[in-house]
Chain A
Amino acid sequence: MTKGLAIIMFSGTADKFIPLGVLTQTAANLGVPVRIFVTGFATPYFTKNKPQPRFPKEFEDMVPALLQGMEKIKAPSWYDMVKEAKETGDVKVYVCSLIAEMLGIKKEHLDPIVDDIVGATFFMKETAEYEVIFI
């Protein structure tokens, strides 16, 4: 079994947040540590003023069925999955300091789900022995 998951969350479309929630919660259920590095277009979704989630235009035609299916199975939101995983296991959410600087995001703007603003060096060292997943 892996020593941990290092998830780099870059994409900002709603579909990409589903695997973030599922992988994070599954790892927590199995006692596998998770470190999430939030950067790029995903960053605004980890602030207090979250934008409306949007789906990628190229899969627009699939979205209604996907949303209906999620409602049918009462799928929890990615946010609730990550939040619960933080209660269950060893899960930390870091926002990339580069993107934070670029977007003028300070610690007080971040959602409580975020643990800290860190640089890539800290993240790489902390997850040196983990599997890396880029979303």
Chain B
Amino acid sequence: MPEITVDARGMACPGPISALTRAYRNANNGDVIIVMATDPGFEPDVKAWIERTKNELLELKKEGGVITAKIKVVAKK
């Protein structure tokens, strides 16, 4: 299964979620999308996006101001 990396560092709201949505549009179920962001709102935003779109958050980690979300695409129709 392909792994797609989205570098949204430096972008501000709603840039990281828009970048994630762009990647998601071209993704298939089973793909993993990794988003890196520095926007301080990214953590609650990505959780809300996951809840709304019913995809799966595999991992969320924070290292030196960078928030990395690992998302499994499961909700594509």
**Assuming A73-B10, A74-B10, is B15 touching A29 (CB within 8 A)?**
no
Contact among B10, B25, B49 for A30, CB-based, below 8 A: B49
Q: Report the tally of A-B residue pairs with Cβ distances under 8 A.
A: 35
Q: Which of A20-28, A51-59, A121-129 contacts B (4 or more CB under 8 A)?
A: A20-28
Instruction: Identify the closest chain A residue to B13 (Cβ).
Output: A22
Contact check, B11 vs A74: say whether CB atoms are below 8 A apart. yes
**Assuming A88-B22, A88-B25, is B17 touching A29 (CB within 8 A)?**
yes
Contact check, A25 vs B18: say whether CB atoms are below 8 A apart. yes
**Assuming A73-B10, A73-B12, is B17 touching A26 (CB within 8 A)?**
yes
Q: State the CA gap A19–B18 with chains docked (Å).
A: 15
A-B interface, 4 closest residue pairs, ranked by CB to CB distance from nearest: A29-B21, A73-B12, A26-B14, A30-B52
